[in-house]
Structure 1
Amino acid sequence: MPKRESSIERQDIRQAKKLLEDTGLTLTDAARLALKVLPRKTANSPTFEDAFEPFIRHCMRKRLKSATLSYYENCLSRINEAYGDRRLSEVSRSDWKTYLEQSELSPGNAKARLRTARALYSWALNENPPLVDSNPLTGLKLNIRTPKHEIEFLSVDDAKKIMENAGKHKAAFALMLFAGIRPEEISARSNQDRLLWENIQFDEKIIRIPGSVSKTGKPRLLEHLPDNLWSWLEEGQTGSISNVSSSAVTNAAQFAGGFLKRQGDKKQVRIRPWPFDGMRHSFATYHIAFHNDPGRTSLILGHEGKTALLHNNYRGLATKAEAELYFSMKNIIINY
């Protein structure tokens, strides 16, 4: 038998109906409107570190491209350095604005982290139950100036230190530093999406990047590559060149170069800023300085029809002498 309303409940219903008399709304209509206005009950908001893996799994279920997943992973690892042990709900809009507009971040890095954090909050808001009440980054605009033709690259000493401490990553690092190959193309999530040893032809000294691996979806043929590259690659290998994610291989390069270090209970501590897309930009910068031929560099990078862009952005950033030192780095280091 249905439970009968109490006298207090019946009185509440009568008062509610009286309040709604001139609105044309029913009690059900009013309840629905109230649900839209009132804050939703959220689950216990996770820390950024705890939210990392569930968010990436969500992105994988949505079948986002490997490059996008790697982009998110790389940015989230940087965000974790600042907010890893804090809950998503604890970091306010003003906190984010201060963090993203800090002088240590390049405009490119700041915008990348903003896009990633915004996607993270959007996922958290749409979970059932929601993990946050709102997305503090919706509509947030950063007050940062983007210098024209801003290119960041590694010094020769930084590149040398990375290769000296490369360990099991020496082939991956060499392909990024001395052939300009993207980390996402070397260290994707599956063999179908990543460069394999079988794509490197030692006899002709060429590298074939399949369309399934290339960021643009178009195959690339890399010819006339620097001589020093081949000293770092071991002929006769098969399968994956790198078995870790692109964010992991980029992190490994930062540890090798002294940009990150492990300290105490923290997983990683930043020592100095890492250049945005630093290894690929380093190759482009020194290759143009060495050959003074943006067209040749453009073919290796896969920037079809963008010779003028490369000339304007990279020419003059490094000297010919620096480029000669950069491309003289060969595998004569015994730190393995």
Structure 2
Amino acid sequence: MKQATVAEVKHPRYTHRVRYTGPGGKTLQRWFKNETDALAFAKDTDKETGIEGKAFGKLGADEKAVIEFWRNFVSESSDAAPPPLIDVVREYADRWKATRTSVTVQQAFDRFIATKEAEGLRRLSVDGLRTRCGRFARDFAERPICTITTTEVSDWVLGLVDTRVPKQKGKAPAEVSLLTKKNYRRDVATMFSFAKSRGWLSDNPMENAAKPKPPKKRPGVLSPEDVKHFFEALGACAPELVPFWAVRFFAGVREQETLRMDWAMVDLDAGEIHLPETITKTGVDRTISIRPALEAFLQPLAKPSGPLCDATVTARRYALKKTIKAIDAAAQKRAKGKKFQPFSMPKNAARHSFATFHLLAFRHPGETSLQLGHGGSPELLHRHYRGISSEKEAKAFWSIRPSKPKNVTSIRERKSA
């Protein structure tokens, strides 16, 4: 941009002319009756256009309004100095540009789920992402994902309520547990990381968002007596589910791994269960030793192949409720009218019981970790399972045997016959 120039002219009314650059780089000129006014105008024009390196021509009305607003804002912000105006403008410009190339939260969610399915993520995992991230997508559906702030996602996570329970009249819906909030935060953060990798936003707002910290709880472990009563009632109420629960209690196999198991993975002759990478949670093969307690439950019902458990979710839940009801009825009968403690099945009680009693009975943390699929590291075991029970109870646990029904014959016995 050229500097304003002052020149003496021959004119009947003016003595000097100033040429300067106006809006859009257009060259303009103005006439003056004396040199003093011409020089003053040229000086002010050069200041206004920033001739020292960043000239933008004569300021328009809207630009002057911005400068006036900013000066007033700065003067009123006496408690803390605001950032430089150029930083504010650049930040807004970046956000505005991002909205031009970004997508809505709903669109990002749809692409995220489609990608996870294409990557081969297991259906149960995809369903979990669809539930948690889908709720976030419904709440912020048409918002460009790049405009979601850390404050908004923090408030959303901390304000989650239970939508499955019908809201009672006059009562606010109950908040979900801190563990549930933590799980929602984890999955939504994964979706934002996916969006960032696609260039739909520059920063993941979840990185500095609120982090729910659920209280630490000791693993729920059943006593050997409770386990014994459970299998007695299960054999009477739902014998088809005995292998499913036996593998979970006496081999520590995870629930979803057990649902994917086939009888062909159970080698009773070798005394081992072979879990291929296709069904394990970690995607790594695992071999589990079959202890006498587990063999006693599996042998009478063993098959050459076929699903270990083919009951539906509804059937399994119904059978479990029916079994627990039978346990309580028997316990109440034994109590002979006295107060008795109802039976409860803590979450993952089967796997936790296996880990606790295996560690106590065999005193080999590395082996217990390998059986559980923890990679052989005993750190997790010591942190969660040490000191929960006693060696006496561990001995009683591994001594549990099924009450064999008279009408059940194992495949081995049928072959020998």
2:125 pairs with one of 68, 89, 108: 68
1:221 pairs with one of 255, 275, 287: 287
Q: TM-score when scaled to structure 1? A: 0.55
One-letter code of the match for 2:265?
Answer: N
Aligned residues: 252
2: distance between equivalents of 1:212 and 1:249? Answer: 23
3-state DSSP class of the match of 2:244?
helix
Gaps spanning 5+ residues in structure 2: where? Answer: 1-60, 64-95, 105-112, 133-161, 193-208, 329-341, 409-417
Find the counterpart in structure 1 of residue 253 from structure 2.
Answer: 181
Larger Rg: 2
Greater relative CO, 1 or 2 (CA 8 Å, sep 6+)? 1
Q: TM-score when scaled to structure 2? A: 0.46
RMSD of aligned Cα (Å): 5.4
Structure 1 residues 308, 242: CA separation in 2 closer, same or farther (over 3 Å shift)? same
Q: Is the 8 A contact 1:182 1:280 kept in 2?
A: yes
1: distance between equivalents of 2:280 and 2:214? Answer: 31
Find the counterpart in structure 2 of residue 100 from structure 1.
Answer: 177
Q: Percent identity?
A: 25
2: distance between equivalents of 1:70 and 1:232? Answer: 33
* 1:150-198 per-position Cα deviation (integer Å, ceiling 9, x unaligned): 32222334323332233121100000000001111121xxxxxx21101
3-state DSSP class of the match of 1:165?
helix
2: distance between equivalents of 1:74 and 1:321? Answer: 44
One-letter code of the match for 2:358?
Answer: H
3-state DSSP class of the match of 1:305?
coil
Gaps spanning 5+ residues in structure 1: where? Answer: 1-20, 24-32, 41-56, 76-81, 102-106, 123-138, 188-193, 262-270
Q: Is the 8 A contact 1:161 1:257 kept in 2?
A: no
Residue correspondence of structure 1 range 313-324 to structure 2 within 5 A: 313-324=384-395
One-letter code of the match for 1:152?
Answer: G
Q: Is the 8 A contact 1:73 1:247 kept in 2?
A: no
Find the counterpart in structure 1 of residue 223 from structure 2.
Answer: 155
Shift in Å, 1:273: 6.8
Structure 1 residues 295, 144: CA separation in 2 closer, same or farther (over 3 Å shift)? closer
Residue correspondence of structure 1 range 74-153 to structure 2 within 5 A: 83-84=163-164, 86=166, 95=173, 97=175, 99-100=176-177, 107=179, 111-112=182-183, 114=184, 141-142=211-212, 144-146=214-216, 150-153=218-221
* 1:181-220 per-position Cα deviation (integer Å, ceiling 9, x unaligned): 1111121xxxxxx211011111111111011011111111
2: distance between equivalents of 1:59 and 1:154? Answer: 41
Structure 1 residues 272, 203: CA separation in 2 closer, same or farther (over 3 Å shift)? closer
Q: Is the 8 A contact 1:289 1:316 kept in 2?
A: no
